[in-house]
C-alpha cells in the first residue's frame, strides 16, 4: 500500500467486518507538525487479550480462506519505518482503537493520499454506517459526520450517491487547507498515486532546479 488513505480504508474494512455501526477517524499533526497521528476507532466486536497480542502478527487472521492477514502488520510497519509508533487498544464487546504515529519529515512517510475518496467509497457501499472524520493541525480543525452530511443534502433533494460525491470533494478541500504546509508530499501527494500528479510534480521540481515550488 502506497498511501496512508489506503491503510485507513483497510482498517475501516476491518471495523466493518467486526460489525461496527460507528467508525471515527482522526488525523492530526502534533508537536508543531513534527508528528502525524492517525486514529481509527470503532464500536465493533473488539478483541480479547489473546487475539490482541497476535493482531499484528502477519500469520494471524480471523478468516478461514487463507492463513495470512497483512492489514494491521503493514500499517504498523509503515508507522515504525518512519520512526513512529503504533498502538492497539481493544475490549471485547466494546470496540477497537488503532493509533499510528508517523514522523512527518521522514522520507519513509507515505503520502496521505486521497482521503475523500476513501470516505466516498465507504459511504457508497455502507449506507447505514456512521462515519466521522476529524482533521486537526495548527491551522485549524475540521469535523465531518456522514449521517448529518447526507441528511442535510437529502433536504435539498440530493440522492445518497450525489451526497457521497460531494463529501469526497469537501473532505479533500479541507485536507488541503488543514495539512497543506504540514505535509510536504512526495510521490503523488493529496491527489494520491493514481493520478499523473507525480510526473507533473517531478517536472516542476526539475524546472526549478530541484527546489520544490513555493
Binding residues vs another protein (CB under 8 A): 1, 6, 9-10, 13, 16-17, 63, 65-66, 69-71, 74, 117-118, 120-122, 124-126, 161, 165, 194
Distance of closest approach, residue 159 Cβ to another protein, in angstroms = 9
Distance of closest approach, residue 104 Cβ to another protein, in angstroms = 24
Distance of CA 68 to the CA centre of its chain: 22
Specify the residue, 71 or 95, whose C-beta has the smaller distance to another protein. Answer: 71
Specify the residue, 74 or 186, whose C-beta has the smaller distance to another protein. Answer: 74
Specify the residue, 8 or 103, whose C-beta has the smaller distance to another protein. Answer: 8
Specify the residue, 65 or 214, whose C-beta has the smaller distance to another protein. Answer: 65
Distance of closest approach, residue 164 Cβ to another protein, in angstroms = 8
Specify the residue, 126 or 139, whose C-beta has the smaller distance to another protein. Answer: 126
Distance of closest approach, residue 124 Cβ to another protein, in angstroms = 6
Distance of closest approach, residue 119 Cβ to another protein, in angstroms = 12
Amino acid at each position: 500500500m502506497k498511501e496512508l488513505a489506503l491503510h485507513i480504508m483497510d482498517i475501516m474494512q476491518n471495523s466493518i467486518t467486526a460489525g461496527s455501526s460507528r467508525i471515527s477517524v482522526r488525523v492530526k499533526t502534533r508537536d508543531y507538525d513534527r508528528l502525524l497521528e492517525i486514529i481509527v476507532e470503532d464500536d465493533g466486536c473488539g478483541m480479547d487479550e489473546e487475539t490482541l497480542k497476535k493482531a499484528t502478527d502477519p500469520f494471524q487472521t480471523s478468516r478461514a480462506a487463507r492463513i495470512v492477514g497483512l492489514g494491521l502488520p503493514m500499517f504498523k510497519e509503515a508507522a515504525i519505518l518512519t520512526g513512529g509508533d503504533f498502538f492497539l487498544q481493544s475490549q471485547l464487546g466494546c470496540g477497537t482503537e488503532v493509533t499510528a504515529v508517523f514522523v512527518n519529515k521522514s522520507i519513509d512517510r507515505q503520502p496521505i493520499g486521497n482521503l475523500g475518496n476513501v470516505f466516498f467509497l465507504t459511504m457508497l457501499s455502507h449506507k447505514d454506517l456512521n462515519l466521522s472524520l476529524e482533521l486537526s493541525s495548527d491551522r485549524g480543525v475540521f469535523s465531518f459526520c456522514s449521517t448529518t452530511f447526507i441528511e442535510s443534502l437529502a433536504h435539498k433533494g440530493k440522492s445518497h450517491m450525489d451526497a457521497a460525491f460531494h463529501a469526497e470533494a469537501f473532505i479533500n478541500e479541507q485536507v488541503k487547507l488543514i495539512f497543506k504546509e504540514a505535509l510536504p508530499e512526495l510521490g503523488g501527494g493529496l491527489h494520491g498515486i493514481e493520478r499523473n500528479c507525480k510526473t507533473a510534480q517531478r517536472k516542476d521540481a526539475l524546472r526549478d532546479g530541484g527546489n520544490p515550488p513555493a
